[in-house]
Chain A
Amino acid sequence: MKFFYSPMKLIELIKNSGSIAKELEEHGADWYFSKEGEKTYNDAKTLAQKTMYFFDYLMAVSKSKDNRNILYRTAYIMANSMDSSSLEFAGYPNILDSTKNPLVNYIKTTSLVSKETTAHGIMMLAALNHEDDAHKYLNTEYKPYTRITYCEADGSISDKYKIERDIIGAFCVDFSGQYMPPYMYEIVESSNDDEND
C-alpha cells in the first residue's frame, strides 16, 4: 500500500469526490425504473450501449451473477431484436418488466448454475413461446422444429422470427451435433403431430 501521494492528487480526489461517489453507486433493479434509469435508457443510442444497459440491469435482477456469459447473451438479444420489435415487451419500461418480457422473467427466476448455454437457450425459447415444457424443443417425438416461427410465404420475417433466431444463434450453436436444437428430426417417428402432446 502506498503512503505517499502528491498534494495535487489528494486535491483532485476531493474535487472529484462527487463523480467518484456517483460511479460507486450501486444501481438496484428499481433504479432502472426511475427517471434517471429512463434517461440512461434513452441516452443509449447504439446497440453496444443498449447491450451494456440491459446487461447491467440483468446483473441487478439476476439470482446468480456468476454466469455473466448467459446474462450478456440475453442482454444482446434484448438489445438487438426485442427492444425494437412491435411485440408487447418492446420499448421502455416493458423491455425490463418481467411480467411482459419472458427472458427477464427467466433470468429473475432461474438459478443460472449450469454453464450449458444450449440448455438455457432452449428454456428461453420455450418461455418466449409461452410453453411450459421446454423438453418439447429437444425431444424429437414432439417435432421441435415445428414449434418455432418461419418466414412468411413472401420471404418476409417477423419480429418473433428475429428474436427466436437470436436466441438460437446466441445459445444453441454451441451444440456439437449436426443440427442444433430445435432443428431436430427423426425419420422414424409418428406422423401425427398431436399424438404425443
Chain B
Amino acid sequence: MNNEMNISEVISELDRISSLYDQHQALSTSMDNVVDEKKAEDDSFAEEIVTTLNEFRKKQDQKFSAKKPNIAPACLATLPESPKKPSTLNPTKDLFIGAISGLIMMFSVAFWLIMIIINPDNSALGLVFLSVLMMLGSLAFWFVKGASKVAMFVDWQKNQKEWKEKQKEWETEFNKSATKEENERFLNEFKEYDTCFLKLVEVCSQKYAEEFKRYEAGLEAIKEKYLNKLEQIHNELSKVSERLDNVTLIHSDLFSNAWRISSMLKTGRADSLKEAINLALDEERKDIEEAARRAEARQQEAILEQQARDNRMHNAAMQRAAEDEARATRAHNAAMERAAEAQAKAAEAQAKEAAKQSEIAQKQARDAERAASARCAGCANWSKCSYTAKQNAGACGAYRPR
C-alpha cells in the first residue's frame, strides 16, 4: 500500500515536473520570438533610415552644379611619335660609305662614257679598261651596299622633316592652349568644384547626423517597447525555473523525460522509479534512432526521386533526339526516293528519246537502202553483180547508169 501510494505520489510529482518543464520551454521559445521580433523591427527601422539617407543623397547629386574641370585637350594631346631611327651602330661611317660610293659610282660611269665618246686609239686601251673596271666595280658596290645605306638616311631625313613639322603644329596648338589664363581657369574651376563637393559632403553629413540621432532614438523606443514584454516573460520564466530548481525527485537532465517516466509507471511497464527512468531513457534513445532513420530514409527518397527525375529528363531528351533522327532519316529517304524517281523519269525520257532516235536512224537506213537498191536496179552492171553485192548496194562504188 505504501509502495502504491509512493508510486502514485511519484507519478503526480512527475506529471507536475513535466508540466513545469513544458511551461519553461514555452516561455523560452516565447522569449526567443520576442527577441527575433525586436531584431526584425530594428533591421526594418535601420533600412528605412538608410533609404531616407540614400534618397537625400540622390537629390543632392541632382543639385550638384559644378562641372568637371578639364585641362585643355590640346595640352593633353600626346606628342607625335618620332620616326624609327636607321638601325646602324656607326651612322657617320655608314653615311660616308654610302654617299662616297655613290659619288664614285657617278664619276666612274662618267669617266667610262667619256672614254667611249672620245674613242681613244690603242695607246689608251689601258685607260678604257680601267674605266670599265672602275665603272663595274663601283656600280656593283653601289647596288649591293651603298644605295641601301643612302636610302636609309634619306628616308629617315624625310620622315624626320615630316615629324618636325607635326611637332611644330603640336607645339603651336599647345602654346595656344597652355596659357597662364587657361591654367588659372582650370584651377578656378577646380576651386569651384571643391567648394560644391565639400558643401555636398557637409550637407549630407548633417543629414546623416540627424538621421543617426533619429535612429538611436528609434532603437531606444523599440527597446523600451520590447523590454516590458521581455521582463514579463523573464519573471514568469524565473518563477518556473525556481520551481524546477526545487525538484528533488529526478535529476534536472531528466526533466524532458518526466512525462515518459510517468507513463512507464502509469502503464505498469515499470515497478520502480529507477526502472522507469531506464526504460524511458531506452525509449528516448530508440525514438532518436527512429527519427534519425526516418530522416535518412527521407533523404534517400529525395535522392532517388531526384535520380528518377534526372532519368526521366534524360530519357525524354534521348527520345526527342531519336525522334529527331528518325524524322531526319525519313526526310532524307524521301529526298533520296524523289531523287531516284526523278532519275528514273530522266532515264525513261532518255530511253524514249534514244528509241525515237533509233527509229529515225532505222527509217533513214531503210530509206537509204531502198534508194541504193533502186539505184542498183538502174545500174548497167546490175546483171554482173553478185547477190551479196546487190544486198550491199549502199556500199557499192561501181555504179554506172544505163
Contacts and interface: CB of A to CB of B under 8 A. Distances in A.
B68 interface: yes
A169 B69 contact: yes
Contact of A14 (B61, B95, B143): B95
Contact of B200 (A26, A47, A185, A189): A185
Contacts of A180: 68
Contact of B95 (A13, A150, A170): A13
Interface in A134-183: 145, 150-151, 155, 157, 161-162, 165-166, 168-170, 173, 178-180, 183
Contacts of A1: 147-148, 151
Given A14-B100, A72-B78, A162-B187, 19 more contacts: A2-B147, A3-B143, A13-B153, A17-B96, A20-B153, A20-B157, A24-B86, A48-B170, A51-B79, A52-B79, A69-B78, A151-B191, A165-B190, A169-B190, A173-B70, A179-B197, A185-B197, A187-B53, A187-B56
Contacts of A46: 175
Contacts of A17: 91-92, 95-96, 99
Contacts, number: 138
20 contacts: A2-B147, A5-B102, A9-B154, A10-B150, A13-B98, A14-B99, A17-B95, A23-B160, A24-B156, A47-B175, A51-B79, A72-B76, A155-B191, A169-B71, A178-B61, A178-B64, A179-B197, A187-B53, A187-B56, A191-B205
A17 B94 CA distance: 10
A48 B178 contact: yes
A80 B177 CA distance: 12
B21 to A, nearest CB: 47
Contacts of B103: 7, 10-11
A89 interface: no
B207 interface: yes
A145 B147 contact: no
Interface string B80-100: 010001101001100110111
A147 to B, nearest CB: 13
Interface string A26-52: 100000000000000000001111011
Contacts of B143: 3
Nearest to B204: A187
Residue of A24, A52, A187, A191 most packed against chain B (CB within 10 A): A187
Nearest to A26: B85
Interface in B207-254: 207-209, 212
A1 B146 CA distance: 12
A169 B70 contact: yes
B379 interface: no
A24 B208 contact: no
A166 B178 CA distance: 13
A35 B247 CA distance: 101
Contact of A21 (B92, B160, B209): B92
Contacts of A120: none
